[in-house]
Amino acid sequence: MMAGNITAIFVGAMAAFIVSLCTRGRMSEEEIEAEWEKTRDIDNPLNPWVQVYKGELKLEEGANYCDRPPLDIVIKKFRAAKLTAYVAGLLFTILFVCIWPGSMLSFDVMDGYGFAVWTFLSRGWAFIAATFIILVPLIQEIYAIWRQHTNNLKEAMKNDTTNINSNEGNGEINSSSKAGGSKRGVIFHQLQQTASYVIKGSKKPPPTTL
């Protein structure tokens, strides 16, 4: 048990460490920041991390998901979470490397029933963990997609209603403008005829059309 846990923990850590050194070697501060920016580019468009952690980062309410805060601000704001992750990682390492294998020293050689119980608990733990890791993110993403789809439908219906009301209002304005324009045109034409008769000195008044 101890050998398996130590192998699982340290081989993964050493593989990432060795591959990083072989592929990049030593990096400057600018290169390190550029690599961290690549990780920050990985985002969920339906649920951007800037919007999720807006309260923790103390961002303005109107900030867009693309307006990401600088990396040093993010590190400063999540310093407590970073320390929590370090402490939790150390405690879980002690649990899986020392406490859990050490607890098996209190048992003698297991009989068939004890071994069956042990393997049943181990399989149950593995199945529960696998179910949580696989199904929970999938359900969360499906729910997020459905919620965004519903919001899009509501927004489209709202825009359609606004456009219909706007078109109806424009139609009424245009019809009244046309009526007013035709009436003003008749009055202007009548005044023009009256002025022409006055200028020419005609004794006969122009016909009234209004």
The CA-atom distances, in angstroms, between 181 and each of 30, 164, 174 are 68, 25, 10
Closest by CA position to 126, among listed 3, 110, 16, 118: 118
Q: Is the pTM of this model over 0.85?
A: no
CB neighbours of residue 93 within 10 Å: 14
Q: E strand or H helix at 135, and its extent?
A: helix 112-200
Q: What percent of the chain has pLDDT over 70?
A: 73
Residue 200 has pLDDT above 70, yes or no: no
Task: Tell me the HSE value of 22 on the side-chain side, using a 13 A CA sphere.
Answer: 6
pLDDT digits (tens, 9 = 90+) for 97-107: 888 888 777 77
User: Which phi and psi (to 5°) does residue 13 adopt?
Assistant: -65, -45
pLDDT digit string, tens, across residues 159-199: 877 777 666 555 554 554 444 445 555 555 565 666 665 55
